[in-house]
Amino acid sequence: MATTMSTRLREVEVQALDPARLEPLVGPERMATFEATAARVRELLDGRMVLNVNSTAAGGGVAEMLQTLLAYVRGAAIDARWAVIGGDPAFFAITKRIHNGLYGSAGDGGELGARERQAYERALRANADELLALVRPGDLVLLHDPQTAGLAHALHDVGALVVWRCHVGRDEPNVWTERAWAFLEPYLDEVDGYVFSRAAFAPRWADPARTFVIPPSIDPFSAKNEPMSAHNVRRALAYVGLLDGDGSPPVVPFTRRDGSPGRINRRVDVQQTGPAARPGAPLVLQASRWDAWKDMAGVMEGFADYVDPAHGAHLVLAGPAVTGVADDPEAAEVYDDCLARWRALPHAARSRVHLACVPMADPDEAAAIVNALQRHATVVAQKSLAEGFGLTVAEAMWKSRPVVGSAVGGIVDQVVDGEHGLLVDDPHDLPAFGEAVDGLLRDPGEAERLGRNARARAVAEFLGDRHLQQYARMFAALDGRGAGTEVGAGAAP
């Protein structure tokens, strides 16, 4: 019998966090601006709700962003909520096809015709019925990514203010992007606003007057980003199996999203030949979903073929356990391909490469494991073939790690080449990627300089107070009550 997924809508609990905790990082002037913005939003909403809707509560950048951002919004006394839609395997296969199309690829090669449209709408119908029980006229609803686009008409019909946010895209359209946008366009003609991470991602039919560019942000106090001493980083990674050590449990706990302490109890599922890396060995890391667009296999081959083994460096490719991300049916296939190519490496190279599947049963625990990995890394890679916005890039920058990334999508908005990291013009150019990593391993002083600059940029550009100010401007413009509020497509505060 085929396995099915729940098609029922569910609300995600978000604990409020006091935004004042950001003040030591951003300074009193930025904090005062944030508080004034929050006051304007409360007045603007006048008791109305802000509801975010997406398709997974864990395992991807959108879920991470919502968890942290909404915690600060709630902490600012704004009624912000989060609902996750359900779907069957056919629905998620279709939405993954659309996702790949927006990146410019045929994906699994399947159709996006009338039959797929019927299956897409059928899966959303039950979600819409439950969603409408939550929403009142005048509420603000933010729909995220292709999975939710088909809900827009029903929400608009009941008088909600509807904004659709797309986190993926491609700078240069092609036949596959046009096909994906053609599928989505009929569902989005009545939305009040569109949000993209980059202006170039917007389709030609998106009204510029209703289009806003708002990059994502990170929470510096989450389990993914909170401080962790070098000693506890090593203890954590030894325990989960990613560093050589005695494997005893870490002594210092991480902080859960509700403020309570947690402890890493689960180990990582690691494919490796022989022991894990020694604590003193340089580490190159790419942490991302098992998604073809992240090109984990390309990172592995670029490292194995073009990084000098004399450095003694190891590579860890870390992604969620392939059963842990409900809306990504291709994850297991991508991981299996990467595993097959790992097995094909010469033994000497294979012994320096480790494939890690991080358990997702406890998202905060998974975040703490990734935090330890990023803090231990000498170099953080993000060799994506396409990228909306690299949250893992911003996380690495926050931790003062130099980034070697592809000059694609949102990464070029995050990293200035030679200032915060190194960008490879062609993501398929494995020699260039390997040489960039090799150069940073060879020159620790340059790696440290890039890391310092990266940290300063993360504080200036990628924390939640900036993100929320941009949302406030958008809501003021769309709601028609924001006379005198400066807004503009793509304008950042």
DSSP at 324 = S
What per-residue confidence (pLDDT) applies to 324?
58
* Alpha helices, H only, 46-87: 61-75
What per-residue confidence (pLDDT) applies to 63?
86
For residues 25 and 19, the answer to whether their CB atoms sit within 8 Å is: no
Residue type, 334: V
203 and 317 within one domain: no
CATH (domain of 429): 3.40.50.2000
Q: Please report whether residue 252 resides in a domain.
A: yes
153 and 301 within one domain: no
Determine the angle formed by the axes of helices 89-102 and 114-132, rounding to 10 degrees.
Answer: 110
Q: Please report whether residue 119 resides in a domain.
A: yes
Instruction: Return all residues near 54 (Cβ < 8 A) that are at least 6 apart.
Output: 62, 63, 66, 82, 84, 85, 143, 144, 145, 147, 148
Strand partners, 358: 320
What per-residue confidence (pLDDT) applies to 342?
97
User: Domain tally for the chain?
Assistant: 2
Cβ atoms < 10 Å from Cβ of 261 = 9
408 and 328 within one domain: yes
Cβ atoms < 10 Å from Cβ of 51 = 21
Question: pTM (2 decimals)?
Answer: 0.87
274 and 325 within one domain: yes
445 and 423 within one domain: yes
Q: Please report whether residue 382 resides in a domain.
A: yes
> Residue 138 is encoded by which pair of tokens?
């005048």
Indicate the burial class of 230 (C-beta count within 10 angstroms; 0-12, 13-18, 19 or more). exposed
> Residue 208 is encoded by which pair of tokens?
């510029």
Q: Please report whether residue 485 resides in a domain.
A: no
> Beta 50-54 vs 140-144: how paired, if at all?
parallel
444 and 474 within one domain: no
For residues 402 and 418, the answer to whether their CB atoms sit within 8 Å is: no
Q: Please report whether residue 486 resides in a domain.
A: no
378 and 289 within one domain: yes
181 and 258 within one domain: no
235 and 135 within one domain: no
* 3 state SS of 292: helix
Residue 469 to residue 37: CA distance in whole angstroms = 6
Q: Please report whether residue 491 resides in a domain.
A: no
Q: What is the pLDDT along the chain (493 residues), one digit of tens a residue?
A: 333 445 678 999 988 989 999 999 999 999 999 999 999 999 999 989 999 999 988 767 888 889 888 999 999 999 999 999 999 999 999 999 999 999 999 988 899 999 999 999 999 998 999 999 999 999 999 999 999 999 999 999 999 999 999 999 999 999 999 999 999 999 999 999 999 999 999 999 999 999 999 998 999 999 999 999 999 999 999 999 999 987 777 666 898 877 889 999 999 999 999 889 999 999 999 999 999 999 999 999 999 999 999 999 999 999 999 875 655 678 899 999 999 999 999 999 999 999 999 999 998 999 999 999 999 999 999 999 999 898 999 999 999 999 999 999 999 999 999 999 999 999 999 999 999 999 999 999 999 999 999 999 999 999 988 888 899 889 989 886 433 333 333 443 3
> Beta 403-406 vs 254-255: how paired, if at all?
unpaired
Q: For the chain, give the number of residues.
A: 493
Element (H, E) at 473: helix 464-479
292 and 210 within one domain: no
For residues 92 and 6, the answer to whether their CB atoms sit within 8 Å is: no
What per-residue confidence (pLDDT) applies to 490?
41
What per-residue confidence (pLDDT) applies to 484?
35
| Calculated CA dihedral for residues 178, 180, 183, 184, nearest 10 degrees | -100
* 3 state SS of 133: coil
**Nearest by Cα to 136 from 102, 172, 161, 111:** 161
Residue 438 to residue 84: CA distance in whole angstroms = 42
58 and 99 within one domain: yes
**Nearest by Cα to 217 from 170, 167, 273:** 167
What per-residue confidence (pLDDT) applies to 322?
85
Q: Which residue has the tokens 């989960």?
A: 240
Range of the domain at 413: 230-461
Element (H, E) at 358: strand 353-358
Q: Please report whether residue 236 resides in a domain.
A: yes
Q: Please report whether residue 206 resides in a domain.
A: yes
**Nearest by Cα to 213 from 493, 418, 491:** 491
What per-residue confidence (pLDDT) applies to 326?
58
> Residue 73 is encoded by which pair of tokens?
């919004």
Residue 82 to residue 63: CA distance in whole angstroms = 10
Residue 21 to residue 23: CA distance in whole angstroms = 6
What per-residue confidence (pLDDT) applies to 250?
66
Q: CA 85, 89, 92: angle at the middle one, nearest 5?
A: 55
What per-residue confidence (pLDDT) applies to 483?
32
Element (H, E) at 418: none
441 and 392 within one domain: yes
